[in-house]
Amino acid sequence: MKIDKFTTVCVVGFKKSGISLCRFLLSLGKRVKVSEISPYKYIYPTYKLIIDQLKKRGVEFEFGTHTKSFLKGVDLIALSPGVDTANSCICKIAKELNILTVGELEVASWLNKAKIIAITGTNGKSTTAFLVYLLLKRKGIRCHLAGNIGIPFSSIALKTKEEDLAVLEVSSYQLESIIEFRPFISCLINLEPDHLD
């Protein structure tokens, strides 16, 4: 999918991935809004400087709720990995308003140039992703490590080159919000009953 199709993006969730996604989208010239379900008083003390910087760059914020009126003019919703797509009211509102909703992983993949090695499963994703990354590095292959391992994919996607490899730890929640995300190599390391909510 082409990011050029979208002019105003609402980022849902304002923690590490949400912040990275805001910066990523701003660097592409997008108008950005942020909707965070946590109340302002809990978010602002920790992220004060970042919120103030993003406001100066034109980012609009909504804290403590997700409202239909805040989504006016939005043509894409980008979810942080922790957003529960099945139970989040913003996903229901987006469906009502017919706004495309995808995850941070999907959006970043639209501009990534590297071949992706995606690692998922119930347990051991971080360890496996890190070991694959180290082995590739040791072989002299230019590669990046990102995803659910604590490094948002959107923080590295624009730095990738066609000859690179991107090793991504991918959670089941991230996979719920993809459309065209197609790794070069996918690895399901194990599958056990967990997070059955």
Torsion of CA 103, 56, 26, 71, to 10 degrees: 40
Tell me the CA distances in angstroms from 165 to 31, 61, 132, one per residue in order.
30, 35, 11
Report pLDDT for 193: 72
pLDDT of 156 above 70: yes
pLDDT at position 44: 86
SS3 assignment, position 43: helix
Give the confidence band of 184 by pLDDT, cuts at 50, 70, 90: very high
Share of the chain above pLDDT 70, in %: 98
- Token readout for 147 is 């995803």
- Residues contacting 123, CB < 8 A, separation 6+: 189, 190, 192, 194
Residue 82: its pLDDT value, please? 83
Residue 124: pLDDT over 70: yes
Contacts of 52 (CB under 8 A, 6+ apart): none
> What are the tens digits of pLDDT across the range 71-105?
999 999 999 988 888 888 999 999 999 999 999 99
pLDDT at 195: 62
**Mean pLDDT, residues 119-131 taken together:** 95
List, for residues 9-30, the tens digit of each pLDDT value.
Answer: 999 999 999 999 999 999 999 9
Contact partners, residue 5, CB within 8 Å, separation at least 6: 75
Cβ 158 vs Cβ 114: under 8 Å: no
Contact 65, 40 (CB under 8 A): no
- Give the pLDDT score at 172: 87
In CATH, the number for domain 109-188 is 3.40.1190.10
- Distance (Å, whole) CA 175 – CA 135: 25
- pLDDT for residue 197: 60
3-state SS class at 122 = coil
Residue 106 pLDDT grade (very low, low, confident, very high; cuts 50, 70, 90): very high
Question: pTM for the whole thing?
Answer: 0.91
**Residue ranges per domain, the chain?**
3-107, 109-188
Q: Are domains 3-107 and 109-188 of this chain identical in fold?
A: no
Q: How many CB atoms lie within 10 A of CB 136?
A: 18
- Asked whether the predicted pLDDT for residue 194 surpasses 90, the reply is no
Q: 3-107 is classed in which CATH architecture? A: 3-Layer(aba) Sandwich (3.40)
